[in-house]
Amino acid sequence: MRLRTRIVAGLLTGALAIGHPASPGGGPVEGVAAQASARPAYLDAWRPVPQRVRDLMGRMRLDEKLGQMIQAERLGITDPADITTYGVGSLLSGGSSQPTPNNPQTWADMYDGFQRQALASRLGIPLIYGVDAVHGHNGVYGATVFPHNIGLGATRNPRLAERIGAVTATEVAGTGIDWNFAPCLCVARNDRWGRTYESFGEVPQLASSLSTIVTGMQGRRLSDPASVLATAKHYVGDGGTLDGKDQGETNISEAELRAIHLAPFRTAIRKGVGSVMISYSSFNGVKLHANSYLINDVLKGELGFTGIVVSDYNGIDKIDGQPGFTPAEVTASINAGMDMVMVPFAWKAFIDTMRTEVQAGRIAMSRIDDANRRILTKKFELGLFEKPFTDRRLTATIGSKPHRELARQAVRESQVLLKNSGGVLPLAKKNNRIFVAGKNADDIGNQSGGWTVGWQGASGPTTIGTTILQGIRQAARPSSTVAYSKDGNGIDSSYDVAVAVIGETPYAEGRGDRPQGMGLDQADLDTLARLEASGVPVVVVLVSGRPLDIAAHLPKWAGLVAAWLPGTEGHGVADVLFGDTTRPDGCR
Ligand code: GLC
């Protein structure tokens, strides 16, 4: 009798079946039975993930499944208890959505607070929290900010990209965050596009080879403390729009789409990328957010993607080109294969609309279940049920010296020497009179670009790091003179060389589109005129998110270096100007 009861109890929990003690020390049978019914299988970490997913989904109500498909902006949560009540599956911090004050501790405290609300829900399903750590954990003041992808593309170094992915993930995990909306695997075919700097370059081979950054971010196991879920974005063809218009029309053949824009996603999926974000753009007139062929048939079918397909920010609203979402848009997108919906503020209305569409039979329950299976699988794989809170050991690594040294190495390797007449470079460290000018010489915000402590980035001392001018001053020996004038006033023929650090000021997404042309701005032209008039050889350092139209000016320059958007470690640029090619840690 007693044995049979124990067997039944064990079968309930699977404990006896595999020899696990149903309770420590094997309590009385009724205790085992009671314990067996109290502890649901999905909470057993030793069970295979598919079994845990199956058990959990078998317990979920419709509204709990709909809640799991919602990714709300943290600012869209007016009452934290709503996370518990609605079973919200995910939150995000959009580009400028940062806690105040903005530091690693406040981020971690914020994350843990939201997580406690999620765990208080009926089934205690943890939430997954996403950010755009697109060049380091760039939303956090004091974090290491790496060169943007356009610079990493210039390194041609997949191993370096992987290491950067790992360090970025460590700093992201140090604030509790588990999901990174990166890397952008876009292939920028028209530099007028404001997101050119988020791409690794204009050919698919660069995005494919540097998608090693995914491996760095996700680590050997998603459940490792410093691993986060990576996102291949934006699927598909965002970099191929007409005239480089952000969120525009990509009107090319399917063969071109596959060869140029799909190829990096194929590589990232082979590398196990855990999520894919859908592009705002359209392919031959069909919005990607409602493109069942490219999501269901190609991404999930042909490429066999089993992770989470997530929309872009209010991406579903944009399907019909009108503000807000309609039932038709919701149904079109969910049925096209969207699993997680980034609906920052109107998320309660979205749940209501989805429920109506499911109850009307326009969205099949099997589609809702497929989305939940994908979402919950990643949550189990990330270990969120076992370790839902910030691992504070990682918090202290944010902005650390070793991380900054890696970023400095990435800056060195990303510099592109385009002109060096008369051997003006490398600069001599000793007995040299160097005149530094330009709006981007002493500006950490300008050298970091967009997506830096704010969606659009900003000029000025926006975070902690080393400017290019500071790097030049650190490299020059006491026997040399380094003078600085932002606009070039004060230069005279007594100087041996002038270094003009010019280019673009920060922008992101559509605000960076340049349909009118790609020339230098007036401030730079005025600075250059002053320097060129002095007769001193001019070396230009171009800090920009893309190539600019400088052809007419090039003959007047002795040297030209494309620095791209180097991030916080501007001394990496100075290293190259002075010919320091040895790695900071000594190895070449
Ligand atoms: C933005 C971007 C996307 C980003 C998302 C969340 O609009 O298109 O790259 O991941 O919203 O911030």
Over the stretch 196-235, which tens digit does the pLDDT of each residue have?
Answer: 999 999 999 999 999 999 999 999 999 999 999 999 999 9
Measured by CA distance, the residue closest to atom 12 of ligand 1 is 94
Distance 346 CA to ligand 1 centre (A): 17
Second-level CATH architecture of 415-577: 3-Layer(aba) Sandwich (3.40)
**Mean local confidence (pLDDT), 341-346:** 98
DSSP letter at 203 equals S
pLDDT tops 50 at residue 586 = no
Matching residue, tokens 């970025």: 168
Measured by CA distance, the residue closest to atom 10 of ligand 1 is 181
Contacts of 21 (CB under 8 A, 6+ apart): 15
Contacts of 60 (CB under 8 A, 6+ apart): 68, 123, 372
Distance 497 CA to ligand 1 centre (A): 42
User: Does ligand 1 have an atom closer than 6 angstroms to the CB of 181?
Assistant: yes
Distance 396 CA to ligand 1 centre (A): 27
Atom of ligand 1 nearest to the CA of 280: 8
User: Does ligand 1 have an atom closer than 6 angstroms to the CB of 578?
Assistant: no
Q: How far apart are CA 336 and CA 297, in angstroms?
A: 9
Candidates 197, 246, 144; CA nearest to 544 is 197
Positions marked catalytic: 312
User: Does ligand 1 have an atom closer than 6 angstroms to the CB of 194?
Assistant: no
Pocket test for ligand 1, best of 181, 229, 288 (most atoms within 8 A of CB): 181
Distance 419 CA to ligand 1 centre (A): 36
Distance 313 CA to ligand 1 centre (A): 6
User: Does ligand 1 have an atom closer than 6 angstroms to the CB of 344?
Assistant: no
DSSP of 65-77: HHHHTEEEEGGG-
Pocket test for ligand 1, best of 241, 277, 313 (most atoms within 8 A of CB): 313
pLDDT tops 80 at residue 343 = yes
Q: How far apart are CA 415 and CA 157, in angstroms?
A: 13
Tell whether pTM > 0.85.
Answer: yes
Candidates 155, 270, 296; CA nearest to 218 is 270
Measured by CA distance, the residue closest to atom 3 of ligand 1 is 312
Per domain, the residue ranges of the chain are 66-395, 415-577
Over the stretch 10-69, which tens digit does the pLDDT of each residue have?
Answer: 444 333 333 333 333 444 444 445 555 679 999 999 999 999 999 999 999 999 999 999
Over the stretch 58-104, which tens digit does the pLDDT of each residue have?
Answer: 999 999 999 999 999 999 999 999 999 999 999 999 999 999 999 99
pLDDT at 351: 98
pLDDT at 37: 61
User: Does ligand 1 have an atom closer than 6 angstroms to the CB of 313?
Assistant: yes
User: Does ligand 1 have an atom closer than 6 angstroms to the CB of 95?
Assistant: yes
* CATH number assigned to the domain with residue range 66-395, chosen from the 4 options 3.30.1330.10, 3.40.50.150, 3.90.550.10, 3.20.20.300: 3.20.20.300
